[in-house]
Structure 1
Amino acid sequence: METESGGIPPRRRVPKLGHKKSMFGCQRCRARRVKCNEEKPICHNCKRHGLPCNYDRDTFAKKVSTKPAATQLFVDGPEQNDPPEGRSRRMLEAKLMHQYVTETGMTIAADEHSSDYYSQLIPKLSFHSDALLYSMYCLAALNIARVYGDNELEDGAENVANRYFSMAVREHNKEIFQVNKNTTDIVCLTSCLMRAATLIQLHNRNREPYTPPWQWLALTRTSTATFVEAYQLIGPDPNSVAFQLIRANSHLHDKGNLPQRGDIQRLQHLMDRSKKLSVGEDWDSEIQDGYERTLTYICNAMKLMEAEGSSGNLLRMLLMFPMLADERYVKLVKEASPRALVILAHFFALLARYNDVWWVGNVAADEVHGIANTLPEEWQYLLLWPLEKIKQWATDFPKRTHSKISPARPFKAVQK
């Protein structure tokens, strides 16, 4: 286009829209490269999708960087986001402490072996740790939400749980940076409570459209580094709770990783690499080894179920799975690899056996259904066993909607 004088008009410069980079946005928004409004404890995007909201950057994280990144959990915002001091907060926290001591603590343990830790030792140690105290409040609020309903607390039990979870993460990260032999038990027990909270928080996430719970796997996996470092600090101290927990579970892992590949015959069909399933699939020796080690762990869990039924040992083994999950496997889950999701569905099918435990409930069955609804047709036949099992568990072991306390699980001592 020419001007009346025949010349070419100067190019109009379009003004740039102001856009402030979200330097301290939540991890999910930054991974998706979308704007995060940085609202605490849950940003707008995560709230809209019903997903956990984790902040791993803040002004505190800039100042403290003395520990390896592997031991750092996601960090939330500064103290000004805490509920204000006053009678309202004191009454709320008194109610949460009462809930934890009278119900939550005795029902959150996987078996009798760890029952005293959760119901007696943790409340005692919480006097010395804000992270442990806030983790207790978070679990108590989640317990109230699942058993009594969200409206039981004035601000909403779920909102209260999210707030205290964020506070617990922040304080826990500080304690990890300063962990020593005297605080190892506190750090490890806080990590245990936070792992339980992340599982419970899967209940309310939006599964339409379905997105794999890779953040839950990734967050839970970071706690493994805490235990490994704790073990190195305490050494062979039989009086240490952390040492006892590590020793009790030592047969389930290989130095904090999944055991080496073993017998996977009963699930060998999940490694089917026929043309219709392998077209376009990422594959190398590392991926194959990750899949086979994961299947070995699940097959061992199946054998334990056949031997002991729904024992405390089995539940403990299932709860450790995300701690040990292969890093490459977690990445494949994040990428929604069909094979990785099929394998994950088999894990959740086993966990669904505990649907009568308040903090498991329907979450495992919901994940299996979510995976089934998102996988292409050619993969559906590999989901027959998980779908059959969750249907069986729902019939044989219906959810105890009126039970305030989960039934005790039979416990068999671990063979040393």
Structure 2
Amino acid sequence: MTGAGASQNRRPPRLNHKKSRAGCRRCKARRVKCDEAKPACGGCNRHNVPCVYVVNESPRTGSNEASLSPHTTLPIDQLQPNFKVAVNQVPTPPTINDPVATDDLLDLPETRQRRLLELGLWHNYVTVISVPFQPSSSTAILPQIWNNHMPQIAMRHDNLLYIIYALSATSLLRNAPEDAELLTAQRVYLSLALRDQQKALAQFHTQAEEADALCFASILMTMNAFGSLQERVRHPYHPPTDMLRLGIGACAVYEEALKSARKFPSSKIVTFIENQPFFCSIPRMFDEEHRGPFVGILGPKNAQGVYEDSELWNTDVRQAYEYTLSYIGTMYTAVLNEENLHQICTRIAAFALYVPKKFVDMVEELRPRALVVLAHFFALATKGSAHWWVGQTPMREVQGLRRIVPLEWQRHMRWPLVMSGLEPV
């Protein structure tokens, strides 16, 4: 990019500073001093980027006995290494919506107004949000999970309860976008859900219902993140990397909890994924054959089978593009095979869970190829517009990406524009 666009994305000079032990991840990565302000530090506010703090590890407490009771709470430093990574990848609230005041993150006071608000949010979930999930008779168990099992689990696990409230508020805001009470509820309950997701993972007992709550909360967080895109300002346009980064953190939690859930025959999340074609296809999701229709974005290879574009000579970069395009290829196949709306929307929500972190980094850097690939995802996501949390968001994102993709890459935008209905065939 040139001119004003380039100046806006140019990094400021690094400054000498005394190391900050409790600073946010971005400041640590950039090796600049963090003022440690909450919920977002001054540097992240200035650059208008997500501010994520590393969760402090709890000190060792209690007995050092070799065997632990199934109900013993494990300190975070005694968790499996992957669980400790997953805890630190749960985004620090808030990441998707405007910041909420620190006081709002405290437990909400018990008032009649709050009880009525939560009753309304619960009623909307049961009567509106969960109703469309009515797949074919071969997967009749899924409506039971959405309408019955998930609410029951939520009554005992606040991380799932709060994200249900946040998702319901996001749903209601479609018809009342200026409702101050709903806007506050959306932000506060998302923040509480993220906070309690961290707590639940740090105190994980490896029981079936706890794993179910962690996994279902992760799935609903990605749906809520996508649904919240309907409200965002797109002038000037910036790609929705907050949504994608939340998915990366949610995936870390989901995958680790799922490993434990598989040990229990009673697990609802295992039943949930075994009855959906998308989850059954995950082992081969990134195979080369799936990206066939979109290899033109990667450009030609030379006689030795190496891509001619030097950007793709870096292994991490090349694999990030290839894996993302393979995922998009599975979405394209699903559309061609006329999968039902529920399954298409499952693939849309799961994109943020499985997209490589390196790809999200490249989108944030506004690399033209990454922007074009993202446009292809949103173009296919328009096929789920009948679901409220998808709506017109994909089409608007394609329009926004079109505005910032450089001229020399615009030819690759033709397919997304046609698929989105923004240009004639």
* TM-score, length-scaled by structure 1: 0.75
Q: Is the Cα contact below 8 Å between 1:333 and 1:341 reproduced in 2?
A: yes
Change (3 A) 1:265 1:185: closer
Q: Quick one: distance in 2 between partners of 1:207 and 1:310?
A: 30
Q: Quick one: distance in 1 between partners of 2:386 and 2:315?
A: 40
Q: Is the Cα contact below 8 Å between 1:236 and 1:243 reproduced in 2?
A: no
Q: Quick one: distance in 2 between partners of 1:143 and 1:223?
A: 20
The one-letter code of the counterpart of 1:220 is G
Q: 2:170 maps to what in 1?
A: 142
The one-letter code of the counterpart of 1:74 is P
Aligned residues: 366
Q: 1:119 maps to what in 2?
A: 147
1:36-88 superposed Cα distances (whole Å, 9 cap, x missing partner): 89566x8999899998x665356x66666434343121234688634333222
How many angstroms does 1:127 deviate by? 1.6
Change (3 A) 1:375 1:44: same
Q: Quick one: distance in 1 between partners of 2:175 and 2:46?
A: 24
How many angstroms does 1:331 deviate by? 2.0
Q: Quick one: distance in 2 between partners of 1:293 and 1:310?
A: 24
SS of residue in 1 equivalent to 2:230: coil
Q: 1:353 maps to what in 2?
A: 383
How many angstroms does 1:30 deviate by? 7.9
The one-letter code of the counterpart of 2:155 is F
Change (3 A) 1:230 1:311: same
Q: 2:220 maps to what in 1?
A: 193
Match of 1:95 among 120, 123, 145: 120
What is the percent sequence identity of the aligned residues?
28
Q: Is the Cα contact below 8 Å between 1:139 and 1:193 reproduced in 2?
A: yes
Q: Is the Cα contact below 8 Å between 1:138 and 1:164 reproduced in 2?
A: yes
Q: 1:74 maps to what in 2?
A: 91
Q: 2:184 maps to what in 1?
A: 159
Aligned: 1:306 with 2:336? yes
Q: 1:171 maps to what in 2?
A: 196
Q: 1:271 maps to what in 2?
A: 298
The one-letter code of the counterpart of 1:190 is A
How many angstroms does 1:165 deviate by? 0.2
Q: Quick one: distance in 1 between partners of 2:45 and 2:236?
A: 15
How many angstroms does 1:158 deviate by? 2.2
How many angstroms does 1:195 deviate by? 1.5
Q: Is the Cα contact below 8 Å between 1:49 and 1:206 reproduced in 2?
A: no
Change (3 A) 1:271 1:54: same
Change (3 A) 1:279 1:366: same
Q: Quick one: distance in 1 between partners of 2:213 and 2:280?
A: 23
How many angstroms does 1:354 deviate by? 1.8
Aligned: 1:260 with 2:287? yes
Q: 1:181 maps to what in 2?
A: 207
The one-letter code of the counterpart of 2:53 is D
Q: 2:360 maps to what in 1?
A: 330
Q: 1:411 maps to what in 2?
A: none
The one-letter code of the counterpart of 1:92 is L
SS of residue in 1 equivalent to 2:286: coil
How many angstroms does 1:218 deviate by? 2.1
SS of residue in 1 equivalent to 2:108: coil
Unaligned runs of 5+ in 1: 1-18, 396-416
How many angstroms does 1:174 deviate by? 0.7
Q: 2:99 maps to what in 1?
A: none
SS of residue in 2 equivalent to 1:262: helix
SS of residue in 2 equivalent to 1:156: helix
Match of 2:393 among 351, 363, 367: 363
Q: Quick one: distance in 2 between partners of 1:122 and 1:49?
A: 38
The one-letter code of the counterpart of 1:75 is T
SS of residue in 2 equivalent to 1:314: helix
Q: Is the Cα contact below 8 Å between 2:171 and 2:388 reproduced in 1?
A: yes
Q: Is the Cα contact below 8 Å between 1:110 and 1:315 reproduced in 2?
A: no
Match of 2:53 among 56, 75, 84: 56
How many angstroms does 1:370 deviate by? 1.3
How many angstroms does 1:192 deviate by? 1.5
Q: 2:233 maps to what in 1?
A: 206
Q: Quick one: distance in 1 between partners of 2:262 and 2:36?
A: 44
How many angstroms does 1:21 deviate by? 10
Larger radius of gyration: 1
Q: Quick one: distance in 2 between partners of 1:139 and 1:89?
A: 16
How many angstroms does 1:170 deviate by? 0.5
Match of 1:132 among 149, 160, 166: 160
Q: Is the Cα contact below 8 Å between 2:248 and 2:354 reproduced in 1?
A: yes
Q: 1:344 maps to what in 2?
A: 374
- Taking only aligned residues, the RMSD between alpha carbons, in angstroms, comes to 3.6
Match of 1:375 among 389, 402, 405: 405
SS of residue in 2 equivalent to 1:259: coil
Q: Quick one: distance in 2 between partners of 1:134 and 1:343?
A: 33
Q: Quick one: distance in 2 between partners of 1:265 and 1:174?
A: 42
SS of residue in 2 equivalent to 1:206: coil
Q: Is the Cα contact below 8 Å between 1:70 and 1:222 reproduced in 2?
A: no
How many angstroms does 1:285 deviate by? 3.1
Q: 1:222 maps to what in 2?
A: 249
Q: Quick one: distance in 2 between partners of 1:25 and 1:99?
A: 39
The one-letter code of the counterpart of 1:71 is A
1:129-153 superposed Cα distances (whole Å, 9 cap, x missing partner): 11111111111111110134432xx
